[in-house]
Structure 1
Amino acid sequence: MNIGIGLPIGDPATLRTWARRADAGPFSTLGLLDRLVYDNPEPLVALAVLAGATSRIRVQTEVLLAPLRDTALLAKQAATLDRMTGGRLTLGLGIGGRDDDHVAAGIDRSTRGRRMDEQMAVMRRLWSGEPYGPGAGTIGPAPARPGGPEVLFGGFKPVALERVARWGDGFLAAAAPSWAGGLFDTVRGFWKEYGRDGGPRLVAQVNVALGPQHVTDDARSAMRAYYAFTGMADRMVAGMLTTPTQIREAITAFTDLGADEVMLYCYGLDPDQVDRIADVV
């Protein structure tokens, strides 16, 4: 089982410390979430810095809100980061659900799913070296991996899970094991329906905070603020894992469900959590 670290967003200046410690430890991936109208670092820019500060660990958007971005430019940015990191990029994508993000980007929220599908058709074509279209040629550089970086999709509705089989390499489930199992099965079903070889890569995400009381309090406060728009922030905060036993049990549960990787997402700013979590896993 691969174990990744989801990075906190409260202080971008600390992220190189997190990244270097994770790179020196047993972790497979650094993940970073995406918002536009929020006090968080832009993930592609931030992960480029962190990739330069590390040597082996993968970097992953978790998830990048693709419909907010220009398609050709996103394809170029992702290919550049993938190429310069020697193929260490995983592009986790989602459509986003916040009205304010779409307002600020000038995008009609009601079209975001359709726009995502259109974007993937274009990006897959560009990453394969084909021209953009009439009046515009190829857009380089070529990514490190033929056909583009690894793409995971997040989401919960059937249309989002089908998108994994249609356009992606795998699925990112921000759900507890009791819910994730059904999502994994649905994704596997679509994968088979589309005649894809092998199986989808399955990545689980769980929120954690490990350390003294002030660390868990900090994490809960940050997570509550981030999810305030949902009206369910308290319930989500209640699901945060705060003990070694809880974290180990979650990893075991996801392993039993067939997950390939578990991302332990941290909201608290204390970078010593990297070492504490390393001791657990």
Structure 2
Amino acid sequence: MQVGLHALGVGNGARPQIIRAVAEAAEARGFATLWAGEHVVMVDEPTSRYPYSADGRIAVPADADWLDPLLALTFAAAVTTRIRLATGVLLLPEHNPIVVAKQAATLDVLSGGRLTLGIGVGWSSEEFAALGVPFAHRGRRTAEYTAAMRTLWSHDVASFEGEFTRFDAIRVNPKPVRDRQIPVVVGGNSDAALRRAAAFGNGWYGFNLPADLVTERVRALREHCASHHRPATELTIAVAPLDGGPDLLPDLAAAGVTELVVIGAPPATPDAATAWVADLAHHWITPGP
């Protein structure tokens, strides 16, 4: 099983010298993927419930620096050569899909085809309101935007007609490196997220998922894949466990997880960040004394 690292873009991980140190060390130490998440807007007193913690509140302070994930990963791409790059997740319905298609393809080209576009529907109604995007029907919007982006990536001259977006005979370049496609991984732990992953995703990203629920969620994903007449083996499965240690690895592999993602906040200096990544690699990639 591969091991990824979700540590860039927030707090100390938003500082360029820390991004460089973490990215270089993660590549050298054998991590498979660097992940970075997104919030365009944070509010001090949200009424929306955060779905990835028991108390319904996000642990990141509202006043923390939070970089755009595609830009943060572009910086990481410039100081690495092999490690994959993934948004975990970009809140797709908050964005113009034509712009995202171009930005994602740009990063894919600059990184030599290393991008995975992790997407989610979002949970903060306050964020959608600030951006002027309807919170309702964001799941349908996400599915449609994904189809529109794939059309833009694969066609020289692209047209699309949908409920939320439409364009006619346009060119959007560059094209992604790998057969004009970028893997789209759907994030979220709910049944709705699993249905979306099975319906149109190249993979699924379970975030802050309690370890004892992983097997059940993967089983549910397989059932949704079957209902869409898709082999579950077509999908990558990345999971960031909420709890547990390296002893989880055999069970996760047996469940069908292809990448375990370690979530962490890097320390404040480059030297400390490099040592921190080395410690994580020793713990997760080469566990033992």
- Structure-2-length-normalised TM-score: 0.79
Matched residue, 2:49: none
Among 264, 267, 273, which residue is 2:276 paired with? 273
| More displaced 10-residue stretch of structure 1: 194-203 or 106-115 | 194-203
* Structure 1 unmatched ranges of 5 or more: 208-238, 240-245
The within-5 A match list for 1:106-117 is 106-117=132-143
1:248 aligns with 2:246: yes
Matched residue, 1:40: 66
Q: Distance in 2 between matches of 1:200 and 1:57?
A: 20
Percent of aligned pairs with the same residue? 31
Matched residue, 2:158: 131
Matched residue, 1:4: 4
Matched residue, 2:262: 264
> Is contact 1:169–1:201 with CA below 8 Å preserved after alignment?
yes
- Higher helix fraction (1 or 2): 1
Deviations for 1:59-112, whole angstroms, at most 9, x for unmatched residues? Answer: 110111001111100011111111221210011110110122212211111121
1:22 aligns with 2:26: yes
> Is contact 1:67–1:95 with CA below 8 Å preserved after alignment?
yes
Among 168, 173, 177, which residue is 2:206 paired with? 173
1:143 aligns with 2:185: no
Q: Distance in 2 between matches of 1:251 and 1:15?
A: 27
Matched residue, 1:184: 218
Partner SS for 1:7: strand
Shift of 1:138: 2.4
| More displaced 10-residue stretch of structure 1: 190-199 or 171-180 | 190-199
Shift of 1:268: 4.4
Q: Distance in 2 between matches of 1:5 and 1:164?
A: 21
RMSD: 1.7
Q: What amino acid is the match of 2:235?
A: P
Matched residue, 2:124: 98
Q: Distance in 1 between matches of 2:168 and 2:178?
A: 27
Q: Distance in 2 between matches of 1:204 and 1:144?
A: 26
Q: What amino acid is the match of 1:162?
A: R
Partner SS for 1:110: coil
Shift of 1:147: 4.5
Q: Distance in 1 between matches of 2:76 and 2:241?
A: 22
Deviations for 1:105-136, whole angstroms, at most 9, x for unmatched residues? Answer: 11111121111011012111111115134544
Alpha-carbon spacing, 1:77–1:196, altered in 2? closer, same or farther (3 Å):
same
Shift of 1:159: 2.6
Partner SS for 2:34: strand
Q: Distance in 2 between matches of 1:10 and 1:190?
A: 37
Q: What amino acid is the match of 1:10?
A: G
| More displaced 10-residue stretch of structure 1: 43-52 or 267-276 | 267-276
1:86 aligns with 2:118: no
1:199 aligns with 2:197: no
